[in-house]
Amino acid sequence: MCGIIGVTGLSDPLAAVLEGLELLEYRGYDSAGIVGVEASGQALWRVRAAEHGGSIDRLRAEADGGPGPLRACLGHTRWATHGAPSEENAHPHLDCSGRVAVVHNGIIENHRELAAELDRSGHKRTSATDTEILAHLVEAEIDAGADLAEAVRRCLLVLRGDFAVALVHAAEPDLIVAARRTSPLVVGTTASAGVVASDVAAALSTTRQLYALEDDQVAEVAPGRLLVRDLEGRRVEPARIDVAWSVERALKGGYPDFMSKEIHEQPRAAADTLLGRVSPGGATEIEELGLDEEELRATRRVLLVGCGSSYHACLVARHALERWAAVPAEAEIASELRYREPVLAEGTLAIAVSQSGETVDSLHAMREARRRGARVLALTNVVDSVMAREADGVLYTRAGPEVGVASTKSHVAQLVMLEAFALHLARARGTLREGEPGRLAGELLGLAASIGRVLEREEDYLSLGRRFSASENFYYLGRRLGLPVAMEGALKLKELAYVRAEAYPAGEMKHGPISLIEPGAVVVVVATRTPLWEKVMANVEEMRARGATVLGVADEGDEETARLLDGVLVVPPTSELVSPVVCVVPLQCFAYAVARARGNDVDRPRNLAKVVTVE
Ligand code: F6R
């Protein structure tokens, strides 16, 4: 989703901004732009592009032949919310004078009423975006005598919504002013440079001394100067971020795309996530958890929230928490929780699951749960992300940076981490029988090898995908632990291959959706040997009787299931509770193959963003 990078000082801030934009690219974007204050301090230089996948190259080409020396520069990748993805809606946006520029992530909710006021007072807007409003509001404050920082502070008082913004003004050529509400923003300075970024990774080449802005703080960033104020204009000390890791530019490492590379990194992601947390004897330790054994024992209910694939991980975790830790557990879509006025009884532990740690729906759900008295944990792959910073404790996955927009290794790492947490909670609550912690730990620790065995069969999954790449109607069915796997498989197919794929509880099909089944329909079923296998196979028969072609995920060596299906995605047998980690992988490969056969860009599927920072 949208990304912000701003650099001031340095001999070539424009080059640093271009590099930052490339690091932001993975978030998904449909247009991009740059603005810089010309060294004369009289004017702004701006370039924007809206070419799917090629905007940053266009900016680079323009920059090569383009401006003279620049002072403060801002760059932005945009994922359209208000206004189509076009060059005129791309950021940065300017005021009427062309001397104030703004880049923005998030949404200004009251933009319509603010736009109407601006129109009445004669401002000329040139885009359909909510962002441009801010340029004009700031212009009005500057005309009334404010400097840039003061103008932004005053404007924040009237803005509603979730956003991060960065602005420059031709009259203050070395200054970038940045502010945020909910959407993340980091700032930093050295004696010779200043940086503002929505992602830590994009800021690191300028400085590692970074600070996270809190809600409603306004920062003035210039070489040798970092001043942060709250909405009342009082100086505040920003929170320092501990950047212990180095950011390597993600490379495809010989794979045709990031998605296949990341699929192959899944054994590593599972192993790294468990490292030092689950030991073979069954002992568990989760360092950043922030809850001691007594607090864990006091847990009366667990509420898991997330979006998309992260929500599917929550659905799996619910089973492990109930069966191992004997604690009531529910999973809910984050964007729904916030608006349904949930009653959270005392002792509720809420776990917000988010690869990015930034998804605004999940962040709001986490805040809502806390407001209603729950202890909150964030399960995320991004160290120091907004959710990690706000939660009472953190469950970090260790999948490494995920570049492909569709989550693969981060989803698998979420499943593994949630199950490790379920084991940890079960031990604290004393709900496991003797010997069980060791057995379960063994199953978890064996998962990396099992995924490795799955990947040895990759070509089988890919060729099955290619065989069905022309089909237009897919139904994914599963029961119990198989259901979230089916949901994840269907999501992967939809987002990558752009074909209809409906996921349904297998037993529920006959209550309506079965009327859609006719020859040509392809049903993909999770048919591993669980206690519900017979019931699943009865559902398979119902589909076949109506002319569907039925493919299924089945255990290695299970000839009977293979005979009953039209095609199999074979996996090594695992116990039911950990099986989603293994069963989801062939479905990722299947979706990948369908998408590739259709000529789609698997790393950057249309309309999708890696990080969803708007509601
Ligand atoms: C699907 C996918 C999305 C994300 C969802 C939540 O492949 O990647 O459904 O899972 O947008 O994102 P995070 O986990 O960053 O909160």
Q: How far is the CA of 353 from the centre of ligand 1 (A)?
A: 9
Q: Is the pLDDT of residue 243 over 80?
A: no
Which pTM was predicted?
0.79
Q: Are 37 and 71 in contact (CB under 8 A)?
A: yes
459 contact partners, CB below 8 Å, separation of at least 6: none
pLDDT bracket for residue 383 (50, 70, 90): confident
Higher pLDDT pick, 53 / 239 = 239
Q: Given pLDDT bands bounded at 50, 70 and 90, which one contains residue 246?
A: low
Q: Look at residue 594 in the predicted model and tell me its pLDDT.
A: 98
Q: pLDDT tens, 225-236?
A: 999 999 999 999
Residue 461 pLDDT: 98
What Rg, from alpha-carbon coordinates, does the chain have? Answer: 25
Sheet holding 567-571, edge to edge: 500-505, 473-478, 522-526, 549-555, 567-571
Looking at residue 94, its amino acid is: L
Between CA 89 and CA 36 the distance in angstroms is 18
- What pLDDT score does 528 carry? 98
Walk me through the domains of the chain, giving residue ranges and CATH numbers. 3-243 (3.60.20.10), 252-445 (3.40.50.10490), 457-602 (3.40.50.10490)
Six token digits for residue 233: 């204009």
Helix (H, G, I), strand (E, B) or coil at 524: strand
Q: Identify the pLDDT of residue 23.
A: 86
- Of all protein residues, the one whose alpha carbon is nearest to atom 11 of ligand 1 is 308
pLDDT at 249 over 70: no
pLDDT averaged over the chain?
93
In short, whether 385's Cβ falls inside 6 Å of ligand 1 is: no
Does 247 or 163 have the greater pLDDT score? 163
Q: Give distance in angstroms: CA of 264 to centre of ligand 1.
A: 19
Nearest CA to ligand 1 atom 5: 308
What's the CA gap between 252 and 485, in Å, rounded? 27
Average pLDDT over residues 151-162: 95
Residue 191 above 90 pLDDT?
yes
Q: Say what the pLDDT of residue 470 is.
A: 97
Tokens of 208: 């590692």
d(CA 144, CA 540): 71
pLDDT band at 606 (very low <50, low <70, confident <90, very high): confident
Query: For residue 235, what are its two tokens?
Result: 């100086």
The CB of 530 under 6 Å from ligand 1? The reply is no
Section 419-445 average pLDDT: 97
Residue nearest atom 9 of ligand 1, based on CA coordinates: 308
Structure tokens at 370: 């806390």
The residue type at 360: V
> Which residue from 27, 354, 355, 425 is spatially nearest to 365, judged by alpha carbons?
354
Averaged pLDDT, 50-58: 84
Q: How confident is the model at residue 251 (pLDDT cuts 50, 70, 90)?
A: low
Q: Looking at residue 79, what is its pLDDT? A: 77
Residue appearing with tokens 């004393």: 430
pLDDT at 82 over 80: no
Ligand 1, residue 405: give the atom nearest the CA. 8
Task: Check pocket membership of 182 for ligand 1, CB cut-off 6 A.
Answer: no
Separation of CA 31 and ligand 1 centre (Å): 21
Tell the burial category of 548 from Cβ atoms under 10 Å away from its Cβ (0-12, 13-18, 19+).
Answer: buried
Closest CA to 474 of 497, 457, 451: 497
Residue 250 has a pLDDT of 52
Q: State which of 305, 309, 336 you would mutate to test the pocket of ligand 1, scoring each by most atoms of that ligand within 8 A of its C-beta.
A: 309
User: Is 464 in contact with 457 (CB distance < 8 Å)?
Assistant: no
**How large is the average pLDDT for residues 404-409?**
94
Compute CA distances 131 → 127, 138, 148, 362, 563, whole Å.
9, 12, 16, 23, 58
pLDDT digits (tens, 9 = 90+) for 525-567: 999 999 999 999 999 999 999 999 999 999 999 999 999 999 9
Distance 389 CA to ligand 1 centre (A): 19
Q: What is the pLDDT of residue 186?
A: 94
Q: State mean pLDDT over 19-32.
A: 84
| Closest C-alpha among 65, 66, 73 to residue 11 | 73
What is d(CA 39, CA 170) in angstroms, rounded to the nearest whole number? 9
The set of catalytic residues is 2, 610
Q: Determine whether the shortest distance from the Cβ of 310 to ligand 1 is under 6 A.
A: yes
With pLDDT > 70 as the criterion, what percentage of the chain qualifies?
98
Strands 161-169 and 210-212: unpaired
Residue-wise pLDDT for 124-135, tens only, equals: 999 988 999 999
Q: Which atom of ligand 1 is nearest to the CA of 410?
A: 14
